[in-house]
Structure 1
């Protein structure tokens, strides 16, 4: 009886451990939803939208996501400002898709051609038994039992703002989702990270070659688009002099956008407001 009970307990523990070990495994992907290579009407508020497929997988890569936005004719030596969106860990959510939302005000409200650059940095771990799973890494941490290597990839988008063009509608971007810039990953297992080497306890081991991205799976539904719009409106309406028209305050008239409190300066600081939307 005791042996049977012990076996049952051991089996239950194995099942629970097996379920826990699958967390953070499988396919994950980061997609640039907007900006997109197209022509849009000038906009006072420009959303910056990234889609994160299977966030628990991406979280194990210790990603750093950054971007820069300049006029297309800006000399390379002046393209110096990058804004960091996700450092160390993305939101630890179990949903299939989340969106990282940032925004820029009073920049794309004129006609121009723009260059948007974004850079993704991640880690890939390995042990001597399985070897590194990528070939282009630069070794950062190597011990007898553990290797941690960083990788990065940069993308660039050219787009135009022109009077008379279509207004930005995040849901209609789904019609051209196949052209979305994206990076996909497949985590085969996780390793216990040595103390102080990484921010968390586990590090992903990635399959090579990387899978083909499927950005259409991160399409924005009307409810998500509405949530993004509401979040950005609430963000800018908190300012004493909003750059947009805001809902009427209780006991007062509506606030009209005046001034340029959030104006963009290439060599100055960009106000970063990170918003996370889950579906």
Structure 2
């Protein structure tokens, strides 16, 4: 009986935390000065040739992440080997629901990352990543009309021994000769405002929906803008440490140098099942049955 009440209390507290978080998100969204732009950039992999690594990071950035929830933003990615039939399926893949990037305490840019063990060979690859999102418009009945869209991008790259080792801390900085290789894959959303969803169950249980500027609900990147945001040394170190800690906790490899304990802090972002520095959020996510896919 004690266990039953403990379970009910845990569920109640989790529900209260989720509700409080959603209210906080709504307040954050309402405080935005519109129009506002949310950008999604891929950091790695990117077009080019890189040395194989035991733990290959898959990293994206979101600018203006407070708009992720009203856009109902979701990310899917899959990596294929060029020397294998597509029908064999992806070599590695994953998915993230990005509405949690609207957390008021999230950094800007917000980092979305995972990892894979499966690219530690010499070959050529292509990565297919897809963003899906929703938006709404006012109707005569005062109930928003919803629509859902998606965009697919492809990045090709090669892993070859003796090539440059990828370093997150050098991304998009002067001298990064792969910087311009991601321009065509950036996705930008011009959000002119938000509406109350009213029937939230029709919009993945999100209370506000984004209104996107016509005629196109996504825009091409400005031609003068060739790089995404820089990743400072502290953020790069935190992402690498969080990826290593997650790999060590879930699927340790004999060749992997695991730390004696998890790092005490990490960049705010969405990673695997464990993220140092975000234990409270993770407990809420797990209690609420929110799943994050770990890529091995």
TM-score (norm 2): 0.68
CA 1:147–1:222: 2 relative to 1, 3 Å: same
**1:190-201 equivalent positions in 2, closer than 5 A:** 190-195=194-199, 196-198=201-203, 199-201=205-207
Structure 2's unaligned 5+ residue stretches are 1-26, 262-270, 279-296
8 Å CA contact 2:68–2:99 kept in 1: the answer is no
CA 1:144–1:173: 2 relative to 1, 3 Å: same
**1:120-269 equivalent positions in 2, closer than 5 A:** 120-128=131-139, 145-174=143-172, 175=176, 176-180=178-182, 181-195=185-199, 196-198=201-203, 199-208=205-214, 209=216, 210-213=218-221, 216-239=227-250, 241-243=252-254, 244-248=256-260
Q: Match of 1:10?
A: none
Q: 1-side partners of 2:80 and 2:126: how far apart? A: 5
Q: 1-side partners of 2:28 and 2:260: how far apart? A: 50
Q: Displacement, 1:185? A: 0.7
Q: Does 1:35 align with 2:40?
A: no
> Moved runs in structure 1, 4+ residues, more than 6 A?
none
SS at match of 2:114: strand
Q: Does 1:47 align with 2:68?
A: no
Q: Displacement, 1:149? A: 0.3
Q: Match of 2:108?
A: 96
Q: Displacement, 1:234? A: 1.3
Q: Which has the higher helix share?
A: 2
TM-score (norm 1): 0.71
CA 1:222–1:277: 2 relative to 1, 3 Å: farther
Aligned residue pairs, count: 227
8 Å CA contact 2:74–2:97 kept in 1: the answer is yes
SS at match of 1:235: helix
CA 1:232–1:162: 2 relative to 1, 3 Å: same
